Amino acid sequence: MKAGTKFIAGAGMISLTVGYLMAAGIKETGVYFLTPTELAEKIEVDPSFYDVGLKMGADVVVGTIERDVATQTITFEVTDGEHVFPVVYRGLAPDTFTDSVEVVVEGRLMPDGVFHATTLLAKCGSRYEAEAGEEHPEGIDV
């Protein structure tokens, strides 16, 4: 076999291996991002979708936050206006986590219908946004 042919064959093998490793890594770390309605539809179509890692973006339902300080467990409900899911999160919540705040929870929906979150992110409150009528730093009215 000629040296050029060996080089091309070797480069092809390396390219295929790198491509496979990239695809496997993306598949392993890729996560769905759904709203509660999209999640409910997904489960209705595919009941085996439980216990799949995903992120869900929604609003916290007012009055549903319960904290157990001893176990650092927070239970609450999230909604997008159509569907509601109960969420259990174990850990410390961000300071901005309050009633009716927008959150992104990452975890798994279990067959009992409870979303077990491993990550809880809360949207920053309006205290960081300019008030109506206030001038923006670049001179633009808000």
Per residue in 12-25, pLDDT (tens digit) is 999 999 988 888 77
Say if residue 31's pLDDT is above 90.
no
CA 137 – CA 31 distance, rounded (Å): 37
User: Across all residues in the chain, what is the average pLDDT?
Assistant: 85
Total-model pTM: 0.69
Q: In whole angstroms, how far apart are CA 10 and each of 6, 14, 15?
A: 6, 6, 9
Q: Does 30 have pLDDT greater than 60? A: yes
| Better-predicted residue by pLDDT, 1 or 132 | 1
C-alpha closest to that of 128 among 139, 138, 136? 136
pLDDT of residue 125 exceeding 90, the answer is: no
The yes-or-no verdict on residue 136 having pLDDT over 80 is no
pLDDT of residue 99: 86
Mean pLDDT for the stretch of residues 35-45: 92
CA distances from 38 to 33, 73, 110 (A): 9, 26, 16
pLDDT band at 64 (very low <50, low <70, confident <90, very high): very high
- Per residue in 76-120, pLDDT (tens digit) is 999 999 999 999 999 998 888 988 899 999 999 999 999 999 999
